[in-house]
A and B are shown apart, each in its own frame.
Chain A
């Protein structure tokens, strides 16, 4: 099996086969990343395609100084931030909720009603629903820390913030997720 650098070199020389092999190697991680951030399959596919388009366009700039996966996820991070900005410009689809659940308005574009929250938080669908009620920044920091297993220093560098700020954001995101889950269990009938 060819390593990443060989596939990249061949793709840059015009080999479609090498490019597809490179995509197949990482598409699963990028797709699941996109799914957690966007909350639905269609948007996840769009984000994933956008990420790989960005990767291909910038492939000649990859110097091999870092791991390809790290470089790829920097592009994915930028695309996710762009998407969050676009959604913020169109707040009907996505809007951050206040920290206190009592302050949540009824219509946030995300179904947070009792039936929706009655879904099992341990399933992907239930977790996606919970994640969609977080702000894009909170969702992103949970993604980078929990799923991408980045260190706080790496996250700080990627987001141009201090490591302490990254830790505080992570703590706030986790706290809000827990508050959502507690609300969910309060609404769910006791077994």
Chain B
């Protein structure tokens, strides 16, 4: 056999459901190809032998087998009902459900931002952010009162200190003010000197760059 199309041509030739167009193509090929014609002639008895099969009747059998078997299988695999639960919670099982209940209550409290305010007048339970504004007002009032107390304490300390030192401290304060003034002038002079040095360095740097540029240009002009 030398025709590479033989497997396809033979298969199509024996195909009872081949379209008329495809069958025409096969016929055209067979008209030209002796190898394929010979192969079909050789294989036709095999196809014929298969078609000689005599239909055999089915021996008597239990046709409900699949039905019964599947029903039994379904019954086996059917989910077993859960054990009957007690109608109410029993304290005998408290060890099992109390931790779960406590966790649940805590989770709800966190999620709803529950707050418990205990005061001298009693306790108050609040949820969410509704009390946020009132709390801010309370905080402001507390901070204001605290600042007032601090100022009063500072004033009292100053009054005590002035009482102890009296007028003798007035001359010391004048001398201290003069010393601060002198230091300030010295700082200004130092700052001006530093600034001048910085300017000088910048000037030198610019000169160096100019010299470098001239040198490069000179080198570039050389033949």
Complex Cα–Cα for A164 and B11 (A): 9
Number of residues of chain A lying within 8 A (CB) of chain B: 47
- Give the contacts of A81-124 with B (CB-CB under 8 A): 121-124
Which residues of A have CB within 8 Å of B55?
A: 28, 32
In the complex, whether A36 has a CB less than 8 A from a CB of chain B is yes
Known: A27-B63, A41-B59, A53-B69. A36 touches B15 (CB 8 A): no
In the complex, whether B54 has a CB less than 8 A from a CB of chain A is yes
Partner of B53, one of A23, A24, A32, A167: A32
Complex Cα–Cα for A35 and B91 (A): 68
Nearest CB of chain B from residue A28's CB, rounded to whole Å: 6
Mark the stretch among A1-9, A66-74, A143-151 that contacts chain B: A143-151
In the complex, whether B47 has a CB less than 8 A from a CB of chain A is yes
Q: How large is the interface on B (under 10, 10 to 19, 20 to 34, 35 or more residues)?
A: 35 or more
Main secondary structure of the interface of B (DSSP, over half): helix
Known: A28-B55, A145-B15, A170-B11. A16 touches B67 (CB 8 A): yes
Complex Cα–Cα for A96 and B46 (A): 18
Which residues of B have CB within 8 Å of A177?
A: 46, 49-50
Partner of A56, one of B10, B17, B70: B70
- Give the contacts of B55-105 with A (CB-CB under 8 A): 55-59, 61, 63-67, 69-70, 73
Complex Cα–Cα for A24 and B67 (A): 13
Partner of B50, one of A23, A35, A142: A142
